[in-house]
Each structure stands twice: as C-alpha cells, then as structure tokens.
A and B are shown apart, each in its own frame.
Chain A
Amino acid sequence: MHLPDGIITAPAIIGGYAAAAGITAFSMYKIKKQHINPRNIIPRAALLTAAFFAASLIHIPIPPVSVHLVLSGLMGVMLGWFSFPAIIVGLLLQAVMFQHGGLTTLGINACIMGVPAILAYYIFYIRKKSGQKKPLTHALLAFGASFIAVVLGALMAALLIIFATPAYLDAAAERNAVIALSIAHLPVAIIEGVFTAIVVLFLLKVKPALLECDGQ
C-alpha cells in the first residue's frame, strides 16, 4: 500500500505533505493535552515504533502466498495520537534502511497509514465509553478497528492511484478499479483484523497497561 516515487502528480505530493504536517501538528496538540511532559513518553513510543517496524517484516502465510502486515490498526490501538508521528518515523526509517526511495510520497503514505490508525484508535476507544471490560469486546473492537483501517487505507491508495497518477481512464473504469483494489484488500484486512485481535487479547492478559495509550 506504499505509493512509490515518480507516479504521483505534483499537487498530490504537496497536498500529502500539507495534510501530514497538519495532522502531525494536531497530534502534538492532542499528545500535549494528554501528557503533562510529552518527552516522558518518547522512549516508550520509540521502542514500540521500533517493535512495530520489526513486526512489519513478519509475513503471515496463507498458502501458497504470504502477506506482510501493515499494522496501522494495531499502532492506532496501542499508540493513539502518537501513532501518526510514529508512522512518519517508521516510513523515514524504511526510506533510510531499505533505500527504496519513498521520500516524495512520504506525506501521502503517512496519511494513507496514519489516518486509518487514528480512526482505529477511536474505534477501539468505544470499549471505554461503553465500560465493557470483557475480552470478547476487546477482540471484536480490535478486529473491527484493524479491518476498517486496512480497508480505508486501501481505498485511499486506490483513489490516489486513479486520480493522482497520469493514468487516463474513463469514469466507469476508474470506479471499477477502485472497487477491485478495495476488494483485493479484503483478505488482507481480515488477516490484519485477526492478528490485531490476538495481539490485543495477549496484551489484555499479559500487560493491560499497554492498551492504555492515552495515559488515563
């Protein structure tokens, strides 16, 4: 779901960076509201970001192929508003360590992963609103949050490929392409949802504090 350099048009690149900058600023505002000294949680956010980075190299086998994890949903669930800066850092490190480029599309890719992550955080947050503490509620919300995060990310990527690349397609072909790309991501979304649900259940049993990213 990462868009590479060279295919995205100029306005979309600028728009992507502008959006990413805006969301980062808003994330910082939210983080500062939630934590008295945000520097205190830098080590934690950083180690988790590194852990997510490592985990994103895990492949889940669905023979004969395997899919690698996006983890945007899990990041949102565990890091809350910190997930957006964490995703930017993750993408930057990917650019440095794998050197596949991705600098011009960093803003766009950050939005494609980060906006769904924040949405996932709010979906998972429902458990607090409803006061539900049952593992099943956690698992279902984690599944839903991650599932929707992947679908939304795929949808955003599909729309960008159609409207922000130099492909001249007619309207019907465009609509079909968006639908096809989104449907192609459904299995990935299900796998990601199941994975996130298992991790959340694991954390609920082993270290529930890790699911309280907003420090409340």
Chain B
Amino acid sequence: MIAEDLKISSLRYSYPGQKPILQDIGLVINSGEKVGLIGPNGAGKTTLFLLITGILKPSAGQITVFEKPVKPGAFNPQVGMIFQHTADQLISPSVHEDIAFGPQNMGLGEQEINKRVKEAATLAGIQHLLERPPHQLSAGEQRLVALCGILAMQPRLLIMDEPTSDLDIRYRRRLIGILSHMEDKTLLIASHDLEFILETCSRVILLESSAICADGSPAEVMGNKTLMEKHGLEVPHSLSVSWHKHRKTIKKPGH
C-alpha cells in the first residue's frame, strides 16, 4: 500500500475578520508524487502551504502529514518549504552558514552538518559559493541556496512557492534538472509558470475562489482549454502544440 504523505480533509481557513480564503478543501497526496498547484493570485496557495507547515492553524478540518496530525507551531524537519521571496529565507552572512541553519536547529553534530551542507551544495552545483554572503548572489544563485538550505534538512515533503518567479532560462533549467532527480521526495509546487509545472509534476491541482476546481494529470487539467480559460488561465503552449501533434498521430493510422 502506498503511504499517504499528506492528507487534508474539510479544511477551512479565514484570516481574522475576512471571508474564508480556503473552504472545504480535501486532498490526498501519496508518497513520491509530484504535484503542481495552479490558480490565480489570491487563490489561497500560499495560505494552504502555511497551513500544511503548521504556521497557521486551520479554522476547521484536519491536516495529517506522514500520517500524523500537524501540530501548529511545532518544528517538523521532514517538511521543507521554500519561500516565494528568497530574501525572506536567507539570513546568514555566508552560504555555508545559511545551509547549516536548519540542520543546526535539528540538533545535529558538527560533522553531520558539514556533510549535509556539502551534499546539498554538490547536488545544486553551488560548492564554489559556500563562503560568499548570500545577499551578494544573483537571484538564480539565491534560489539554489534557499533550496539547499531546505534539502540539508532532508525533508520527505518539499514545498515550493513560486520557485521560478525570478529565474532566468538557465537557472530555470537547472532547477528543473535538480527536481527531476528527486524520485524519493514528495513535491508540492505552486507556480504561475505552467510550463515549469508541466516539466516537473505528474499531477496538477487547480485552486480558485477558495476551493479545488480540478485535480488530475497535467494533460487533463492544463490541456483542458475550457477549464483553464474559465479560471483565467491559459493552456501551456507546449501542451497545446503537443496536443495537436498527438491528434495528428492518432489520425494518421486511420488513413
């Protein structure tokens, strides 16, 4: 039986004095799944992440991560989140110290910390930056440092909020490359970059006006022109092209 890494049932959340931003959300994500979360600005994607990580406390409903209920405020290194603005996350005077920050808080020994820092940096290909202050790096490099800071905690569930919003094509490709080597991790990625979701995810969830509107394979959800346009989104270019190709290849044998 496949383990349910994340299970959400009848989740509701509203910020004090406001209409609910999430209402009756139900969702199961299995171990190793790569899930993309799409939807317009203000749909509640970030709020959902803050609830899963226990930063916010649900107004109603349950969230279980690795089959244990989320304890609001408790530290769970198995869940890692990369913030939309890396500036929120990078606080140390050197890259090395910043990647070590999480492992240090986990109470690991010096040797283990250094090992993890090196492993994470090698995976992301940023070993040469370890002594630099993160604030002086490019946006792409900062994004990789933020990723390493989370990877060093060896989370099983990795959450990313808009990971490509400030990346150029080269760093975007690098990030896709790194994520494609994470077979053992469960990924949950929110993005407006639908092509990126297409390349990294095997399942897509569409969130709009506080509810889940669609849940399925990328081709099913993002290839559905009516659905996408109804929610103010566009079918990713490559999907519409491949869709045409796909149709042509189907037609040919019929000749």
Query: Which of A's residues lie within 8 Å of B, judged by CB?
Result: 201-202, 205-207
Question: Closest chain B residue to A198 by CB distance?
Answer: B93
Q: Within the complex, what minimum Cβ distance (angstroms) separates B131 from chain A?
A: 10
Query: Which of B's residues lie within 8 Å of A, judged by CB?
Result: 93-94, 133, 135-136
A19 to B135, CA, bound (A): 40
A207 to B135, CA, bound (A): 9
Q: Within the complex, what minimum Cβ distance (angstroms) separates B36 from chain A?
A: 35
Instruction: Please give me the 6 A-B residue pairs with the lowest Cβ-Cβ distance, nearest first.
Output: A206-B133, A205-B93, A202-B93, A206-B135, A206-B93, A205-B133
A206 to B135, CA, bound (A): 7
Extra 4 A-B pairs, beta carbons < 8 Å, given A205-B93, A206-B133, A206-B135: A201-B93, A202-B93, A206-B93, A207-B135
Main secondary structure of the interface of B (DSSP, over half): loop
A201 to B133, CA, bound (A): 12
Q: Within the complex, what minimum Cβ distance (angstroms) separates A22 from chain B?
A: 39
Residues of B with C-beta under 8 A to A201: 93
Most buried by A among B93, B94, B135: B93
A207 to B94, CA, bound (A): 12
Residues of A with C-beta under 8 A to B94: 205
Residues of B with C-beta under 8 A to A202: 93
A9 to B229, CA, bound (A): 70
A201 to B94, CA, bound (A): 12
Listed A/B pairs (11) with beta-carbon separation below 8 Å: A201-B93, A202-B93, A205-B93, A205-B94, A205-B133, A206-B93, A206-B133, A206-B135, A206-B136, A207-B133, A207-B135
Q: Within the complex, what minimum Cβ distance (angstroms) separates A11 from chain B?
A: 46
Residues of A with C-beta under 8 A to B136: 206
A206 to B92, CA, bound (A): 9
